[in-house]
Amino acid sequence: MVSRSIRNTLINIVGENNYLDSVEDRICYSYDATRKKSLPEAVIFPTTVSQVSEIMKLANRYKIPVVPRGAGSGMTGGAVPSEGGMVMVMNNFNRILEIDTDNLQAIVEPGVVTSSLHDTVEKAGLFYPPDPASMKHASIGGNIAENSGGMRAVKYGVTKDYVMGLEVVIPTGEIIHTGSKCVKDVVGYNLTQLFVGSEGTLGIVTKAILKLLPLPEAKKTLTATFSSMELAAKTVSGIIKKRIIPTTMEFLDKHSICAVEDFLHIGLPTNAGALLLIEVDGDADLIGKDIERIRAVCQSNQALEIKTAADEKELNELWKARRSVSPSLLKIRHVKINEDIVVPRSKIPDIIQKIEKIADKHHLVIVNFGHAGDGNVHVNVLSSNDNDELTRASHAVDDIFNAVIELDGRISGEHGIGITKRDYIELCIDKPTLSLMRQIKKLLDPNNILNPGKIFP
Protein backbone atom coordinates (compact mmCIF):
# COMPACT_ATOMS: atom_id res chain seq x y z
CA MET A 1 0.00 0.00 0.00
CA VAL A 2 1.19 3.46 -0.85
CA SER A 3 0.19 5.33 2.30
CA ARG A 4 -0.14 9.09 2.54
CA SER A 5 3.30 9.51 4.08
CA ILE A 6 4.97 7.21 1.51
CA ARG A 7 3.22 9.18 -1.21
CA ASN A 8 4.65 12.42 0.19
CA THR A 9 8.12 10.92 0.37
CA LEU A 10 7.86 9.71 -3.24
CA ILE A 11 6.75 13.16 -4.38
CA ASN A 12 9.70 14.64 -2.50
CA ILE A 13 12.02 12.31 -4.38
CA VAL A 14 10.78 12.84 -7.96
CA GLY A 15 8.81 16.09 -7.81
CA GLU A 16 5.09 16.60 -8.14
CA ASN A 17 5.01 16.44 -11.93
CA ASN A 18 6.65 13.04 -11.95
CA TYR A 19 4.25 11.32 -9.61
CA LEU A 20 0.77 10.44 -10.90
CA ASP A 21 -2.05 8.71 -9.12
CA SER A 22 -5.29 9.93 -10.62
CA VAL A 23 -7.51 7.08 -11.70
CA GLU A 24 -7.12 8.21 -15.32
CA ASP A 25 -3.33 8.03 -15.17
CA ARG A 26 -3.44 4.69 -13.38
CA ILE A 27 -5.66 3.26 -16.13
CA CYS A 28 -3.16 4.47 -18.73
CA TYR A 29 -0.32 2.53 -17.11
CA SER A 30 -2.30 -0.62 -16.42
CA TYR A 31 -1.72 -2.44 -19.71
CA ASP A 32 0.81 -3.45 -22.34
CA ALA A 33 0.56 -4.96 -25.82
CA THR A 34 -0.94 -8.17 -24.42
CA ARG A 35 -4.08 -6.10 -23.65
CA LYS A 36 -4.02 -7.56 -20.14
CA LYS A 37 -4.60 -4.96 -17.47
CA SER A 38 -4.23 -4.42 -13.77
CA LEU A 39 -4.39 -1.06 -12.02
CA PRO A 40 -1.29 0.26 -10.26
CA GLU A 41 -1.62 2.44 -7.18
CA ALA A 42 0.71 5.07 -8.57
CA VAL A 43 2.92 5.88 -11.54
CA ILE A 44 6.35 7.37 -10.96
CA PHE A 45 8.82 8.90 -13.42
CA PRO A 46 12.35 9.08 -11.94
CA THR A 47 14.95 11.20 -13.71
CA THR A 48 18.22 10.14 -12.05
CA VAL A 49 19.78 6.91 -10.88
CA SER A 50 19.82 8.15 -7.30
CA GLN A 51 16.07 8.74 -7.47
CA VAL A 52 15.60 5.18 -8.72
CA SER A 53 17.74 3.95 -5.83
CA GLU A 54 15.81 5.95 -3.22
CA ILE A 55 12.48 4.74 -4.59
CA MET A 56 13.66 1.13 -4.48
CA LYS A 57 14.90 1.48 -0.90
CA LEU A 58 11.54 2.88 0.13
CA ALA A 59 9.59 0.25 -1.80
CA ASN A 60 11.75 -2.49 -0.30
CA ARG A 61 11.24 -1.20 3.22
CA TYR A 62 7.46 -0.99 2.85
CA LYS A 63 7.18 -3.99 0.52
CA ILE A 64 5.48 -2.13 -2.31
CA PRO A 65 5.65 -3.83 -5.71
CA VAL A 66 7.53 -1.87 -8.38
CA VAL A 67 6.98 -2.60 -12.07
CA PRO A 68 9.49 -1.05 -14.47
CA ARG A 69 8.11 0.17 -17.77
CA GLY A 70 9.49 1.57 -21.02
CA ALA A 71 6.99 2.09 -23.83
CA GLY A 72 4.64 -0.65 -22.66
CA SER A 73 4.93 -2.48 -25.96
CA GLY A 74 5.80 -5.90 -24.52
CA MET A 75 3.98 -9.00 -25.62
CA THR A 76 3.85 -11.08 -22.41
CA GLY A 77 2.63 -8.68 -19.74
CA GLY A 78 6.06 -7.75 -18.37
CA ALA A 79 5.00 -4.15 -17.75
CA VAL A 80 1.53 -4.97 -16.41
CA PRO A 81 1.35 -4.28 -12.65
CA SER A 82 -0.40 -7.57 -11.99
CA GLU A 83 0.10 -7.28 -8.24
CA GLY A 84 -0.55 -3.55 -8.00
CA GLY A 85 2.05 -1.24 -6.48
CA MET A 86 3.93 1.34 -8.48
CA VAL A 87 4.72 1.49 -12.17
CA MET A 88 8.13 3.03 -12.65
CA VAL A 89 8.24 4.63 -16.10
CA MET A 90 11.73 5.18 -17.47
CA ASN A 91 10.78 7.72 -20.17
CA ASN A 92 12.81 10.52 -18.53
CA PHE A 93 16.00 8.51 -19.06
CA ASN A 94 15.99 9.37 -22.74
CA ARG A 95 19.51 10.48 -23.57
CA ILE A 96 22.12 8.93 -25.80
CA LEU A 97 25.10 9.80 -23.61
CA GLU A 98 27.94 8.90 -25.92
CA ILE A 99 28.65 7.48 -29.35
CA ASP A 100 32.23 6.28 -29.17
CA THR A 101 33.36 6.07 -32.79
CA ASP A 102 36.87 4.95 -31.77
CA ASN A 103 35.68 1.93 -29.81
CA LEU A 104 32.42 1.35 -31.69
CA GLN A 105 30.19 1.68 -28.67
CA ALA A 106 27.23 3.68 -27.50
CA ILE A 107 26.34 4.58 -23.94
CA VAL A 108 22.62 5.08 -23.63
CA GLU A 109 19.88 5.54 -21.09
CA PRO A 110 17.05 2.99 -21.08
CA GLY A 111 14.27 5.32 -22.28
CA VAL A 112 15.92 5.88 -25.67
CA VAL A 113 13.66 4.62 -28.44
CA THR A 114 15.44 1.86 -30.36
CA SER A 115 14.96 3.31 -33.83
CA SER A 116 16.22 6.71 -32.72
CA LEU A 117 19.43 4.97 -31.61
CA HIS A 118 19.57 3.37 -35.08
CA ASP A 119 19.20 6.75 -36.76
CA THR A 120 21.80 8.40 -34.58
CA VAL A 121 24.50 5.74 -34.93
CA GLU A 122 23.87 5.27 -38.65
CA LYS A 123 24.63 8.96 -39.19
CA ALA A 124 28.08 8.15 -37.83
CA GLY A 125 28.44 5.17 -40.19
CA LEU A 126 27.76 2.72 -37.37
CA PHE A 127 25.18 0.01 -36.86
CA TYR A 128 23.11 -1.29 -33.93
CA PRO A 129 21.56 -4.48 -35.33
CA PRO A 130 18.74 -5.52 -32.94
CA ASP A 131 15.50 -4.46 -34.62
CA PRO A 132 12.34 -5.74 -32.92
CA ALA A 133 9.20 -5.01 -34.94
CA SER A 134 8.23 -2.46 -32.28
CA MET A 135 11.53 -0.56 -32.66
CA LYS A 136 9.83 2.69 -33.70
CA HIS A 137 8.25 3.04 -30.27
CA ALA A 138 9.86 0.45 -27.96
CA SER A 139 12.80 1.55 -25.84
CA ILE A 140 16.27 0.12 -25.23
CA GLY A 141 15.52 -0.57 -21.56
CA GLY A 142 12.60 -2.79 -22.51
CA ASN A 143 14.69 -4.43 -25.23
CA ILE A 144 17.36 -5.30 -22.65
CA ALA A 145 14.85 -6.53 -20.08
CA GLU A 146 13.19 -8.80 -22.64
CA ASN A 147 16.37 -9.64 -24.59
CA SER A 148 14.52 -8.58 -27.72
CA GLY A 149 15.34 -10.15 -31.03
CA GLY A 150 14.17 -8.84 -34.35
CA MET A 151 14.48 -9.52 -38.01
CA ARG A 152 18.21 -9.16 -38.35
CA ALA A 153 18.83 -11.85 -35.72
CA VAL A 154 19.52 -14.46 -38.43
CA LYS A 155 22.83 -12.85 -39.18
CA TYR A 156 23.51 -10.51 -36.28
CA GLY A 157 22.02 -12.12 -33.18
CA VAL A 158 19.83 -10.48 -30.55
CA THR A 159 20.04 -7.76 -27.89
CA LYS A 160 22.22 -9.85 -25.52
CA ASP A 161 24.94 -9.97 -28.18
CA TYR A 162 25.27 -6.18 -28.04
CA VAL A 163 25.14 -5.41 -24.31
CA MET A 164 28.66 -4.98 -22.92
CA GLY A 165 27.88 -3.44 -19.60
CA LEU A 166 25.08 -2.10 -17.42
CA GLU A 167 24.34 0.22 -14.56
CA VAL A 168 21.53 -1.41 -12.57
CA VAL A 169 19.60 -0.51 -9.46
CA ILE A 170 18.81 -3.76 -7.67
CA PRO A 171 15.61 -4.22 -5.64
CA THR A 172 17.27 -3.30 -2.35
CA GLY A 173 18.34 0.02 -3.81
CA GLU A 174 22.07 -0.58 -4.34
CA ILE A 175 23.50 0.71 -7.60
CA ILE A 176 25.70 -1.91 -9.28
CA HIS A 177 27.87 -1.89 -12.40
CA THR A 178 28.40 -4.90 -14.65
CA GLY A 179 30.79 -5.36 -17.57
CA SER A 180 32.86 -2.58 -19.10
CA LYS A 181 33.87 -0.94 -22.35
CA CYS A 182 36.51 -3.62 -22.92
CA VAL A 183 35.96 -6.16 -25.67
CA LYS A 184 37.61 -8.78 -23.51
CA ASP A 185 36.69 -8.73 -19.83
CA VAL A 186 36.68 -11.76 -17.53
CA VAL A 187 36.78 -9.99 -14.21
CA GLY A 188 34.20 -11.61 -11.99
CA TYR A 189 30.93 -13.27 -12.93
CA ASN A 190 29.27 -12.24 -16.19
CA LEU A 191 26.44 -10.44 -14.44
CA THR A 192 25.55 -8.41 -17.53
CA GLN A 193 23.96 -11.45 -19.11
CA LEU A 194 22.07 -12.21 -15.92
CA PHE A 195 20.18 -8.95 -16.24
CA VAL A 196 19.65 -9.10 -20.01
CA GLY A 197 16.34 -10.92 -20.45
CA SER A 198 15.48 -10.87 -16.72
CA GLU A 199 12.15 -9.23 -17.61
CA GLY A 200 12.48 -6.47 -15.04
CA THR A 201 12.50 -8.91 -12.13
CA LEU A 202 16.11 -8.55 -10.97
CA GLY A 203 16.98 -4.91 -11.38
CA ILE A 204 16.24 -1.63 -13.12
CA VAL A 205 18.68 -0.73 -15.87
CA THR A 206 19.63 2.94 -15.75
CA LYS A 207 22.50 2.96 -18.25
CA ALA A 208 23.86 0.55 -20.87
CA ILE A 209 27.08 0.21 -22.83
CA LEU A 210 26.13 -1.17 -26.23
CA LYS A 211 28.36 -2.67 -28.90
CA LEU A 212 28.11 -1.20 -32.40
CA LEU A 213 29.27 -2.51 -35.78
CA PRO A 214 30.36 -0.71 -38.91
CA LEU A 215 27.31 0.06 -41.05
CA PRO A 216 27.19 -2.43 -43.95
CA GLU A 217 27.98 -0.80 -47.27
CA ALA A 218 24.87 -1.94 -49.12
CA LYS A 219 21.75 -4.05 -48.84
CA LYS A 220 19.33 -5.72 -51.21
CA THR A 221 15.86 -7.05 -50.59
CA LEU A 222 14.13 -9.86 -52.44
CA THR A 223 10.55 -11.03 -52.13
CA ALA A 224 9.32 -14.41 -53.29
CA THR A 225 5.80 -15.79 -53.24
CA PHE A 226 4.81 -19.43 -52.97
CA SER A 227 1.61 -21.39 -53.30
CA SER A 228 2.02 -22.89 -49.83
CA MET A 229 3.75 -22.27 -46.51
CA GLU A 230 5.43 -25.63 -46.87
CA LEU A 231 7.30 -24.60 -50.02
CA ALA A 232 8.31 -21.30 -48.41
CA ALA A 233 9.58 -23.14 -45.34
CA LYS A 234 11.59 -25.54 -47.51
CA THR A 235 13.14 -22.58 -49.29
CA VAL A 236 14.29 -21.18 -45.96
CA SER A 237 16.01 -24.42 -44.94
CA GLY A 238 17.40 -24.68 -48.47
CA ILE A 239 19.05 -21.26 -48.23
CA ILE A 240 20.68 -22.07 -44.89
CA LYS A 241 21.88 -25.43 -46.26
CA LYS A 242 23.61 -23.55 -49.09
CA ARG A 243 25.64 -21.75 -46.39
CA ILE A 244 24.05 -18.38 -47.10
CA ILE A 245 23.20 -16.25 -44.07
CA PRO A 246 20.92 -13.40 -45.12
CA THR A 247 20.45 -10.39 -42.82
CA THR A 248 16.79 -11.24 -42.49
CA MET A 249 14.57 -13.97 -43.76
CA GLU A 250 10.96 -13.25 -42.85
CA PHE A 251 7.82 -15.00 -43.90
CA LEU A 252 4.15 -14.08 -43.98
CA ASP A 253 1.41 -16.67 -44.43
CA LYS A 254 -1.73 -16.01 -46.45
CA HIS A 255 -3.70 -14.51 -43.55
CA SER A 256 -0.90 -12.11 -42.63
CA ILE A 257 -0.48 -11.04 -46.25
CA CYS A 258 -4.18 -10.18 -46.51
CA ALA A 259 -4.41 -8.44 -43.12
CA VAL A 260 -1.45 -6.18 -43.76
CA GLU A 261 -2.37 -5.47 -47.38
CA ASP A 262 -5.79 -4.39 -46.16
CA PHE A 263 -4.05 -1.73 -44.04
CA LEU A 264 -1.27 -0.55 -46.35
CA HIS A 265 -2.48 -1.17 -49.91
CA ILE A 266 0.97 -1.64 -51.36
CA GLY A 267 0.11 -4.45 -53.74
CA LEU A 268 1.11 -7.55 -51.76
CA PRO A 269 -0.01 -10.77 -53.49
CA THR A 270 -3.20 -11.57 -51.58
CA ASN A 271 -3.73 -14.77 -53.54
CA ALA A 272 -0.38 -16.31 -52.56
CA GLY A 273 -0.03 -18.97 -49.87
CA ALA A 274 3.15 -17.47 -48.44
CA LEU A 275 5.57 -14.62 -48.93
CA LEU A 276 9.26 -14.59 -48.11
CA LEU A 277 11.03 -11.32 -47.47
CA ILE A 278 14.78 -11.73 -47.65
CA GLU A 279 17.44 -9.09 -47.18
CA VAL A 280 21.17 -9.42 -47.59
CA ASP A 281 23.72 -6.79 -46.65
CA GLY A 282 27.44 -6.28 -46.91
CA ASP A 283 29.93 -5.47 -49.63
CA ALA A 284 28.10 -4.04 -52.69
CA ASP A 285 29.73 -6.53 -55.10
CA LEU A 286 29.15 -9.60 -52.98
CA ILE A 287 25.49 -9.14 -52.11
CA GLY A 288 24.51 -9.29 -55.80
CA LYS A 289 25.93 -12.81 -55.93
CA ASP A 290 24.12 -13.82 -52.72
CA ILE A 291 20.83 -12.57 -54.13
CA GLU A 292 21.33 -14.66 -57.27
CA ARG A 293 22.04 -17.79 -55.23
CA ILE A 294 18.95 -17.13 -53.09
CA ARG A 295 16.88 -16.59 -56.23
CA ALA A 296 18.01 -20.00 -57.51
CA VAL A 297 16.88 -21.72 -54.30
CA CYS A 298 13.50 -19.96 -54.53
CA GLN A 299 13.12 -21.12 -58.13
CA SER A 300 13.97 -24.71 -57.28
CA ASN A 301 11.14 -24.59 -54.71
CA GLN A 302 8.59 -23.47 -57.31
CA ALA A 303 8.37 -19.81 -56.31
CA LEU A 304 5.45 -18.14 -58.11
CA GLU A 305 7.09 -14.75 -58.37
CA ILE A 306 10.47 -13.36 -57.35
CA LYS A 307 11.07 -9.63 -57.16
CA THR A 308 13.78 -7.29 -55.88
CA ALA A 309 12.72 -3.99 -54.30
CA ALA A 310 13.16 -1.23 -56.87
CA ASP A 311 13.85 1.75 -54.63
CA GLU A 312 14.07 2.99 -51.05
CA LYS A 313 10.34 3.77 -50.97
CA GLU A 314 9.35 0.26 -51.99
CA LEU A 315 11.85 -1.12 -49.49
CA ASN A 316 10.44 0.95 -46.65
CA GLU A 317 6.92 -0.11 -47.56
CA LEU A 318 7.87 -3.78 -47.47
CA TRP A 319 9.44 -3.52 -44.03
CA LYS A 320 6.63 -1.41 -42.71
CA ALA A 321 4.30 -4.15 -43.97
CA ARG A 322 6.25 -6.76 -42.06
CA ARG A 323 6.31 -4.70 -38.86
CA SER A 324 2.57 -4.08 -39.10
CA VAL A 325 1.49 -7.70 -39.30
CA SER A 326 0.95 -8.35 -35.61
CA PRO A 327 -1.44 -5.49 -34.77
CA SER A 328 -3.21 -5.78 -38.13
CA LEU A 329 -4.39 -9.30 -37.27
CA LEU A 330 -7.00 -7.93 -34.87
CA LYS A 331 -8.99 -7.00 -37.94
CA ILE A 332 -9.60 -10.69 -38.57
CA ARG A 333 -10.71 -11.59 -35.04
CA HIS A 334 -11.05 -9.71 -31.76
CA VAL A 335 -8.85 -12.05 -29.74
CA LYS A 336 -5.29 -12.88 -30.64
CA ILE A 337 -3.19 -15.29 -28.60
CA ASN A 338 0.27 -14.37 -29.67
CA GLU A 339 3.02 -16.94 -29.19
CA ASP A 340 6.58 -16.62 -30.37
CA ILE A 341 7.82 -20.16 -30.41
CA VAL A 342 11.25 -21.04 -31.72
CA VAL A 343 12.63 -24.27 -33.17
CA PRO A 344 16.04 -25.20 -34.61
CA ARG A 345 15.84 -23.60 -38.01
CA SER A 346 15.99 -26.83 -39.98
CA LYS A 347 12.69 -27.77 -38.27
CA ILE A 348 10.71 -24.83 -39.67
CA PRO A 349 8.86 -26.93 -42.30
CA ASP A 350 7.93 -29.52 -39.62
CA ILE A 351 6.54 -27.03 -37.13
CA ILE A 352 4.53 -25.21 -39.80
CA GLN A 353 2.99 -28.50 -40.87
CA LYS A 354 2.15 -29.42 -37.29
CA ILE A 355 0.56 -26.03 -36.59
CA GLU A 356 -1.60 -26.31 -39.70
CA LYS A 357 -2.84 -29.70 -38.45
CA ILE A 358 -3.55 -28.25 -34.99
CA ALA A 359 -5.58 -25.43 -36.58
CA ASP A 360 -7.65 -27.98 -38.50
CA LYS A 361 -8.13 -30.15 -35.44
CA HIS A 362 -9.53 -27.30 -33.34
CA HIS A 363 -11.34 -25.53 -36.22
CA LEU A 364 -9.43 -22.31 -35.66
CA VAL A 365 -7.67 -19.68 -37.70
CA ILE A 366 -3.99 -19.77 -36.76
CA VAL A 367 -1.82 -17.17 -38.43
CA ASN A 368 1.92 -17.71 -38.77
CA PHE A 369 4.52 -15.16 -39.66
CA GLY A 370 7.94 -14.13 -38.50
CA HIS A 371 11.58 -14.90 -38.49
CA ALA A 372 11.89 -18.00 -40.64
CA GLY A 373 15.64 -17.54 -40.82
CA ASP A 374 16.23 -18.06 -37.11
CA GLY A 375 13.45 -20.54 -36.46
CA ASN A 376 11.34 -18.02 -34.52
CA VAL A 377 7.70 -18.22 -35.62
CA HIS A 378 5.00 -15.83 -34.44
CA VAL A 379 2.02 -18.09 -34.02
CA ASN A 380 -1.23 -16.19 -33.59
CA VAL A 381 -4.22 -18.21 -32.51
CA LEU A 382 -7.25 -16.11 -33.38
CA SER A 383 -10.60 -16.31 -31.73
CA SER A 384 -13.81 -14.42 -31.15
CA ASN A 385 -15.01 -13.65 -27.62
CA ASP A 386 -17.09 -16.81 -27.76
CA ASN A 387 -16.34 -19.09 -24.80
CA ASP A 388 -16.27 -22.31 -26.79
CA GLU A 389 -13.86 -20.85 -29.33
CA LEU A 390 -11.67 -19.44 -26.55
CA THR A 391 -11.44 -22.86 -24.92
CA ARG A 392 -10.48 -24.45 -28.23
CA ALA A 393 -7.87 -21.72 -28.71
CA SER A 394 -6.34 -22.47 -25.35
CA HIS A 395 -6.18 -26.20 -26.16
CA ALA A 396 -4.55 -25.33 -29.47
CA VAL A 397 -1.84 -23.36 -27.61
CA ASP A 398 -1.15 -26.44 -25.44
CA ASP A 399 -0.84 -28.60 -28.55
CA ILE A 400 1.46 -26.09 -30.24
CA PHE A 401 3.79 -25.93 -27.23
CA ASN A 402 3.96 -29.71 -27.06
CA ALA A 403 4.78 -29.87 -30.76
CA VAL A 404 7.52 -27.30 -30.23
CA ILE A 405 9.08 -29.30 -27.41
CA GLU A 406 9.00 -32.48 -29.52
CA LEU A 407 11.09 -30.65 -32.12
CA ASP A 408 13.63 -29.48 -29.50
CA GLY A 409 12.27 -25.95 -29.60
CA ARG A 410 11.48 -23.38 -26.89
CA ILE A 411 8.17 -21.72 -26.05
CA SER A 412 9.50 -18.18 -26.43
CA GLY A 413 12.15 -16.80 -28.75
CA GLU A 414 11.99 -13.11 -28.00
CA HIS A 415 8.85 -12.03 -26.15
CA GLY A 416 9.76 -13.50 -22.79
CA ILE A 417 7.61 -15.37 -20.27
CA GLY A 418 5.95 -12.56 -18.29
CA ILE A 419 2.52 -13.55 -17.10
CA THR A 420 1.17 -15.08 -20.26
CA LYS A 421 3.60 -18.02 -20.50
CA ARG A 422 4.32 -18.50 -16.79
CA ASP A 423 2.34 -21.70 -16.60
CA TYR A 424 4.29 -23.27 -19.44
CA ILE A 425 7.84 -22.48 -18.36
CA GLU A 426 8.34 -25.98 -16.93
CA LEU A 427 7.92 -27.42 -20.42
CA CYS A 428 11.33 -25.96 -21.20
CA ILE A 429 13.13 -25.72 -17.89
CA ASP A 430 13.74 -28.64 -15.55
CA LYS A 431 13.06 -28.45 -11.81
CA PRO A 432 16.62 -27.96 -10.48
CA THR A 433 17.25 -25.21 -13.04
CA LEU A 434 14.02 -23.42 -12.24
CA SER A 435 14.78 -23.75 -8.56
CA LEU A 436 18.18 -22.11 -9.07
CA MET A 437 16.48 -19.26 -10.91
CA ARG A 438 14.10 -18.80 -7.98
CA GLN A 439 17.07 -18.69 -5.58
CA ILE A 440 18.76 -16.02 -7.67
CA LYS A 441 15.56 -13.97 -7.64
CA LYS A 442 15.28 -14.40 -3.88
CA LEU A 443 18.88 -13.35 -3.31
CA LEU A 444 18.52 -10.15 -5.29
CA ASP A 445 14.95 -9.38 -4.28
CA PRO A 446 14.37 -10.86 -0.82
CA ASN A 447 10.97 -9.19 -0.41
CA ASN A 448 9.80 -10.02 -3.94
CA ILE A 449 8.92 -6.42 -4.74
CA LEU A 450 10.40 -6.02 -8.21
CA ASN A 451 7.93 -7.04 -10.90
CA PRO A 452 6.40 -9.79 -8.77
CA GLY A 453 4.24 -12.46 -10.35
CA LYS A 454 6.27 -12.68 -13.54
CA ILE A 455 8.18 -15.61 -15.08
CA PHE A 456 7.67 -18.11 -12.23
CA PRO A 457 4.54 -20.24 -12.06
Partner 1 sequence: MEKKSGKNKFLELIGGELQKCSKCGACRTICPVFAENQREKYSARGKIALSDAVAQGVLPLTDEYYDILNNCILCLSCVENCSSGVKVDKIIRAARALLVEQRGLPLPQRIIHKMLQHGKEFMDLILKKGSLFQYIFFKSIPKTSGLRSRFPMPLIDKTRYIPTLVRKPFRKRVTERVEAAVPKKSVVFFTGCCTNYIYPNIGEAVVKVLNELGISVIIPKGQMCCGAPAETAGDLHTVIELAQNNINELLFEEEKYKVVLPCSSGGYMFKHIYPELFQNDAKIMSQAKKLALLTCDISEYLVKEVGLDKIAGHIKQAFTKKITYHDPCHLNRGQGIKTEPRKLLKILSGESFVEMDEADRCCGSGGVYGIKHRSISNKILSRKIDSIKNSEAEIVATGCPGCIIQLLDGINQKDLNIRVLHTVEALAECI
Q: Which residues of the chain form contacts with partner 1 (CB under 8 A)? A: 20, 22-25, 27-35, 37, 71-73, 91, 113, 134, 136-138, 260, 262-263, 323-328, 330-331, 334, 336
What's phi and psi for 165, nearest 5 deg? -165, 155
Question: Which C-beta is closer to partner 1: that of 33 or that of 355?
Answer: 33
Question: Which C-beta is closer to partner 1: that of 336 or that of 347?
Answer: 336
Query: What is the SS3 assignment for 134?
Result: coil
Residue 259 CA, distance from chain mean position: 21
Q: Which residues contact 174 (CB under 8 A, 6 or more apart)?
A: 53
Using a 10 angstrom Cβ sphere, with 0-12 exposed, 13-18 middle and 19 or more buried, the burial of residue 227 is middle
Q: How far is the CB of 85 from partner 1 (least distance, A)?
A: 17
Q: How far is the CB of 420 from partner 1 (least distance, A)?
A: 13
Q: What is the CA radius of gyration of the chain?
A: 22
Q: How far is the CB of 307 from partner 1 (least distance, A)?
A: 23
Q: How far is the CB of 22 from partner 1 (least distance, A)?
A: 6
**Residues in the chain, how many?**
457
CA atoms of 295 and 299, how far apart (whole Å): 6
Question: Which C-beta is closer to partner 1: that of 336 or that of 410?
Answer: 336
Question: Which C-beta is closer to partner 1: that of 184 or that of 265?
Answer: 265
8 A C-beta contact, residue 362 and residue 395: yes
DSSP string across 66-131: EEEESSS--SSSTTS-TT-SEEEE-TT---EEEEETTTTEEEE-TTSBHHHHHHHHHHTTEE----
Q: How far is the CB of 137 from partner 1 (least distance, A)?
A: 5
Question: Which C-beta is closer to partner 1: that of 95 or that of 241?
Answer: 95
Question: Which C-beta is closer to partner 1: that of 155 or that of 255?
Answer: 255
Q: How far is the CB of 366 from partner 1 (least distance, A)?
A: 17
What's phi and psi for 311, nearest 5 deg? -145, 175
Q: How far is the CB of 417 from partner 1 (least distance, A)?
A: 19
Question: Which C-beta is closer to partner 1: that of 91 or that of 103?
Answer: 91
CA atoms of 60 and 264, how far apart (whole Å): 48
